[in-house]
Amino acid sequence: MKIELVFIPSPGIGHMKSTTAIAKLLIDSDDRVSVTLIVIPSQFSGDKPSSNVSSVYTESKGRLRYCLLPTGDQPTEQTFISYIDSRKPLVRAILSGLTHEVSTNPDKSRLAGIVVDMFCTSMIDIADEFGLPAYTFYTSNASYLGLQFHVQSLYDEKKLDVSELKDSDEKFDVPTLTRPFPAKCLPSVMLSKEWFPYVLNRARSFRDTKGILVNSVAEMEPQALKFFSDGNMNTPPVYAVGPVLEFKTDGKDFGDEKRSEILRWLDEQPLSSVVFLCFGSMGGFSEEQAREIAVALEQSGHRFLWSLRRASLVGDMTGCPPGEFKNLEEILPEGFLDRTVEIGKIISWAPQVAVLESPAIGAFVTHCGWNSILESLWFGVPTAAWPIYAEQQFNSFHMVEELGLAAEIRKDYRRDFLSGTVEIVTAEEIERGIKCAMEQDSKMRKRVKELRDKLHVALMDGGSSKAALRKFVHDVVENIP
């Protein structure tokens, strides 16, 4: 039986790239499967697709096709959640057209279900309207998924509200972790009284789906995957199908000339000599923080490639991306650019995958976005953890304390629209994290190299992720109404 799945990714570039990659993995793994991706562009791109969207979603081809929604005339102050909800009529219209195609064409693939991004669970209502099974594509890790379910269970069964633990030194047990988890590393949405109900409802939505595809690997998170396979907490099946990575689109929206310039510079550097600093699509810093980073880099003595951007205003709830500093000489320490001209390079945006692949990279200072973590592990690059927003504080704890795969800069740092205040991470903290990550013969570097090999094996025939993907397709067929 030929089947078709409809994917609805979140507009974030990391989510879009991961969804494209999982769609291609599904198609390559089973010639019965076709995929339609309903693409929601960024709300800041106007009526035209943003460069990020067009770089990820190219032309429809074979059993993979794209339906790109217009943004329409949306108020810029609209929150991310309300923007997603406003796209529901357009998604409903596309599903109506797809069901009509199936009903009028006997050779057409059967519509087998809708796979919603972890931030698009409101679209599950549309799956229900059309009588289709809903699945979740969870672009983060299985351990964090376990935290979300655990927090919801604590509230529903024991009336424990973790948002009351804000500013607390308390630690508590999470069933998908092996060691106590500090409340200070909870994401801001879980520590906010206003947003905590949203956290609970999203976890409940996950439970209502037929299965959850997780961008992780069984060998990386044995505690979490064992917990889910044992059928705990009344959760749907969890399929660890990672690492789901999209490399072919890396840097297409960056510009070939700038990309080539960066890679040429890296080619001229010694093996494992460069520390790479990059903080994702939403990662930016104040002038004061940028100066602390500059001091740390100079004091460390290491070569560096630094993706530096200016932070959005605290309190901005629209998700507007960071901008660029207009004059680096005005914000960085006097003479810094001249003193480091032979060993350092400052850029705005980076072709991250191509940089991490370079033999010159010795360590990666990262915001701990899950895609960035997986990319660094795929290439065997040790990291220094500096989380900023979303679930990155959890990811930082996971990498530093649980797995021993990253050095710490400050694992409970946060800078997002919910935090309210902005702390400054000192040059001493940053320098210490850089030196630890750059240590060439460390146990951490050895663990990273070992896990790199396991990630590659997981996607091969007979690997754990390849088997999980096949199990998912089997279950999808079984669940067709």
Q: How many residues in the chain? A: 481
CA dist list (Å): 249 to 51, 307, 449: 11, 19, 25
Cα dihedral 330, 332, 337, 342, rounded to 10, equals: -160
Q: Which residue(s) pair with 116 in the sheet?
A: 8, 136
Tokens of 68: 């790109």
| Residue closest to 249 by CA, chosen among 8, 17, 68, 11 | 17
**Greatest pairwise CA separation for the chain in angstroms:** 71
CA dist list (Å): 104 to 73, 98, 108, 257, 346: 34, 10, 9, 49, 57
AA identity, residue 338: D
The residues assigned a catalytic role are 15, 117
Pairing relationship of beta strands 110-117 and 64-68 according to DSSP bridges: unpaired
Cα dihedral 284, 381, 217, 466, rounded to 10, equals: 110
Helical H runs in 159-216? Answer: 196-207
b/e string for 450-476 if b means 16 or more Cβ within 10 A? ebbeebeebbeeebbbbbbbeebbebb
154/194 Cα distance (integer angstroms)? 18
Q: What is the SS3 assignment for 217?
A: coil
CA dist list (Å): 315 to 265, 308, 311, 396: 38, 21, 12, 23
Q: Which helix (H) or strand (E) holds 273?
A: none
